[in-house]
Amino acid sequence: MITHKLSVLVVEDHSIIAEGLSSILQGSEGLELRGVFSTAEAALLFLGSQPVDVLLLDISLPEMSGIEMCRTVKKQYKKTKIIALTNHTEKSVVQEMLESGADGYLLKNTSRQDLVAAISQVMNNQFIMQSEIQKLLFSPTPAGKALPRLTTREKEILQLVGQGATTSAIARQLFISPQTVETHRRNLMQKFEVNNSAALIKKATEKGLL
């Protein structure tokens, strides 16, 4: 049995949800809230000096996504358990988060009691997932709904497109030609089945990639 207080970090960019989580964690025996951050970058800086037991991680964050942060944390802080706490119910996003190393996947409509229980359970090496997410995960994937498989370069360009960078700016930053950028941009639009950059950004955000 775990007897010490479990340290918890929250990464959530919606203030009202962050405040609610803070209230739950601060009022729960056996848990110690170490901090609440609205960006993955700020949370990673904190973890560099103060690792925690459990990370409650949203997927849709302003810059680095929760999926990317999950991968980074699992590489650098192997003992930290990660529970995705999100509204995403798209099968491809759930799969991507689990493949990135998440130890649990909860929706934001989870009860206070279930959230607190989940934190203790993941520390006992139990995998946590709500029944509705389990059903989603094991249901057949409709054709064309899978998350596009992107190359490392495509991911870099997608992030920059999402930040509003122009073709020439992306070319300068990545030390490639504007023609190469446009080729990658066309490939991305083809993979996401869209016709312009605005639709590309919208669809990538929906899938938790931005």
Boundary (domain end) residue, out of 86, 113, 137: 137
Are 112 and 70 contained in the same domain? yes
- Answer whether residue 118 shows pLDDT above 80: yes
Mean model confidence pLDDT for the chain: 89
Instruction: Give the number of other Cβ atoms within 10 Å of residue 50's Cβ.
Output: 11
Are 107 and 83 contained in the same domain? yes
**CA-to-CA distance for 157 and 177, rounded, in angstroms?**
13
Instruction: Give per-residue pLDDT as tens, 64-81.
Output: 899 999 999 999 999 999
- Answer whether residue 103 shows pLDDT above 50: yes
Are 122 and 60 contained in the same domain? yes
Boundary (domain end) residue, out of 105, 137, 169: 137
pLDDT band at 142 (very low <50, low <70, confident <90, very high): low
Are 130 and 158 contained in the same domain? no
- Answer whether residue 112 shows pLDDT above 50: yes
Are 98 and 27 contained in the same domain? yes
**CA-to-CA distance for 193 and 191, rounded, in angstroms?**
5
Instruction: Give per-residue pLDDT as tens, 198-207.
Output: 889 988 888 8
**CA-to-CA distance for 121 and 127, rounded, in angstroms?**
8
Which structural domain range is residue 156 located in? 152-206
Boundary (domain end) residue, out of 112, 137, 162: 137
Please name the residue ranges forming H helices in the chain.
15-26, 40-49, 66-76, 91-99, 112-123, 131-137, 152-162, 167-174, 178-191, 197-206
- Answer whether residue 144 shows pLDDT above 60: no
Residue 147: inside a domain, yes or no?
no
Output the six-digit token pair for 143: 């054709």
The closest alpha carbon to 58, from 38, 85, 40, 33, belongs to 85
Contacting residues for 71 by C-beta, under 8 A, at least 6 apart: 100, 101
Instruction: Give per-residue pLDDT as tens, 157-198.
Output: 999 999 888 999 999 999 999 999 999 998 899 888 888 888
Contact 66, 59 (CB under 8 A): yes
**CA-to-CA distance for 29 and 38, rounded, in angstroms?**
25
Residue 144: inside a domain, yes or no?
no
C-alpha torsion angle, residues 190, 63, 34, 28 (rounded to 10):
-50
What's the CATH number where 64 sits? 3.40.50.2300
pLDDT score at 164? 87
Residue 86: inside a domain, yes or no?
yes
Instruction: Give per-residue pLDDT as tens, 45-60.
Output: 999 999 999 999 999 8
Contacting residues for 93 by C-beta, under 8 A, at least 6 apart: 59, 67, 147, 207, 208
- Answer whether residue 140 shows pLDDT above 70: no
- The secondary structure of 131-182, three-state, reads HHHHHHHCCCCCCCCCCCCCCHHHHHHHHHHHCCCCHHHHHHHHCCCHHHHH
Contact 9, 21 (CB under 8 A): no
What's the CATH number where 177 sits? 1.10.10.10
Contacting residues for 184 by C-beta, under 8 A, at least 6 apart: 153, 154, 157
pTM for the whole structure? 0.67
Residue tagged 């949800």 (tokens) = 17
Are 58 and 89 contained in the same domain? yes
pLDDT score at 91? 82
Task: State the average pLDDT over residues 84-91.
Answer: 89
Residue 159: inside a domain, yes or no?
yes
Residue 11: inside a domain, yes or no?
yes
- Answer whether residue 2 shows pLDDT above 50: no
pLDDT band at 136 (very low <50, low <70, confident <90, very high): confident
Are 123 and 62 contained in the same domain? yes
**CA-to-CA distance for 156 and 170, rounded, in angstroms?**
9
Are 102 and 31 contained in the same domain? yes
- Answer whether residue 20 shows pLDDT above 80: yes
- Answer whether residue 3 shows pLDDT above 80: no
Q: What's the number of domains the chain is made of?
A: 2
Are 23 and 90 contained in the same domain? yes
pLDDT score at 141? 57
Residue 146: inside a domain, yes or no?
no
